[in-house]
Structure 1
Amino acid sequence: MDKPYVMGIAGSSGSGKTFFLKSFLDHFDQDQVTLISQDDYYFPANTKTQEENRLYNFDIPSSIDRESFFNDIKSLFEGNTIYKKEYTFNNPSIKPKTLEIKPAPILIVEGLFIFHYEEINQLLNYRIFLDADEEIALTRRLKRDLVERGYDHDDVMYKWINHVVPSYNTYLLPYKNTCDRIVVNNTDDPVLINSATNVISQELKEKLQFN
């Protein structure tokens, strides 16, 4: 198959990437777009103790199996389907699903380090940066990690101060002004995100001559 049109989507923790992606994908048929996420390429951390996991920094480039991530993207370019076990963020109450990632004319690559990884950044045709004020992003992160991932409050705050913010400032923020579109998401009003994804998807359909 021809090389897909590759969109890179990245943003700070708590910037609303999950909702943005869901809204964007809803504008296309399943055979028109596919998504590959950096989060599913974390090196396994289930051999570590709880205290080691607290100290272990998941927010640095070396925490990701960068080579496998890149190779799977290239494999999608070649028309191959990827089977990958989803990453459940060390939550023992969640049984990981096997993801089936099929090639499609539009490939979305999502993750914190996709602009920092030069070999992946070079594959991108269009870059989107999702942004939110730090206070708002932290509130969202607390809600997600305490409720959905079962972390305790002290653990979330430790990682935010020592891992999340320094990583964002080092590995993502420097690329903000190189992106094609910056979406500021400081409200939880879905109209803002739906409006942005509607505009972007319509532009993309016209570019790729989708019906």
Structure 2
Amino acid sequence: MNKPYVIGIAGSSGSGKTFFLKSFLNHFLAEQVTLISQDDYYIPANTKTKEENRHYNFDVPTAINRLAFFHDIKELFDGHTVYREEYTFNNPDAVPKILEIKPAPILIVEGLFIFHYEEVNELLDFRIFLDAEESVALARRLKRDLIERGYDHEDVMYKWNNHVVPAYNEYLAPFKPICDLVIINNTDDPKIIDDAANKISLDLKEKNSTIKII
């Protein structure tokens, strides 16, 4: 199998990565694109050391099984299907699925540290950076963690101030200038997402005439 065209997508917490990915994937046929997410490579929390306030820090590069993440990306490069247990963010009520990640002409690699990990970054053909104003991003984070994950407000704010923002500043923000496309997503406007997807679609069509864009 020829090397896939690799798109790296990263962004601040609350920048709308999930919304963007869903919209972006709709521009391609299922067999044309595959997605591998750093989130499914978290090292289990029960193997980590808690801080004095009993919190785990998931916003550091060592929270990810970096070797396994890179290994599976290379497996996709070599045309092999990857099977990975879905990460459920330590939700005891969630039953993790076994993800089947098939090789495809377009590979999307998504995650907070994909630019920081040199071995992953050098594989990327196109880099997308999603960003949002801090107040907007925090509001989205609160909605997600309080409603969808059932976290305590005080815990969410502690992690935001002590884990999320420092990680963004150290491991992600420095790479913003080198990205091919920067999307400021403060409104969840579908047109912003569609315009970005169309831009990349045209770029892919020019590079590979065998990829049909829908």
Band of TM-score, shorter chain: over 0.9
The gaps in structure 1 that reach 5 residues or longer are: none
1:78 aligned residue: 78
* Residue 143 to residue 3, structure 1, CA distance change in 2 (3 Å): same
Q: Deviations over 1:95-122 (max 9, x none)?
A: 1111000000000000000000000001
1:165-184 equivalent positions in 2, closer than 5 A: 165-184=165-184
Q: What code does the residue aligned with 1:126 have?
A: F
Decide whether the 8 Å contact of 1:54 with 1:159 is kept in 2.
no
d(CA) in 2 for partners of 1:31, 1:52: 47
SS of corresponding position for 1:10: strand
What TM-score do you get using the length of structure 2 for normalisation?
A: 0.94
1:8 aligned residue: 8
d(CA) in 1 for partners of 2:121, 2:203: 21
1:199 CA drift (Å) = 2.4
d(CA) in 1 for partners of 2:48, 2:115: 29
The answer to whether the aligner puts 1:45 opposite 2:45 as a matched pair is yes
The answer to whether the aligner puts 1:186 opposite 2:186 as a matched pair is yes
d(CA) in 2 for partners of 1:101, 1:53: 37
Q: What code does the residue aligned with 2:113 have?
A: F
What TM-score do you get using the length of structure 1 for normalisation?
A: 0.95
d(CA) in 2 for partners of 1:112, 1:35: 15
SS of corresponding position for 1:79: coil
Decide whether the 8 Å contact of 2:49 with 2:56 is kept in 1.
no
1:194 CA drift (Å) = 2.2
1:18-97 equivalent positions in 2, closer than 5 A: 18-46=18-46, 54-97=54-97
1:154 aligned residue: 154
Aligned-pair Cα RMSD in Å:
1.8
2:130 aligned residue: 130
Decide whether the 8 Å contact of 2:6 with 2:108 is kept in 1.
yes
SS of corresponding position for 2:127: strand
Decide whether the 8 Å contact of 1:91 with 1:150 is kept in 2.
no
1:74 CA drift (Å) = 0.3
SS of corresponding position for 1:8: strand
d(CA) in 1 for partners of 2:128, 2:158: 28
Q: Deviations over 1:30-51 (max 9, x none)?
A: 1100000000000011467998
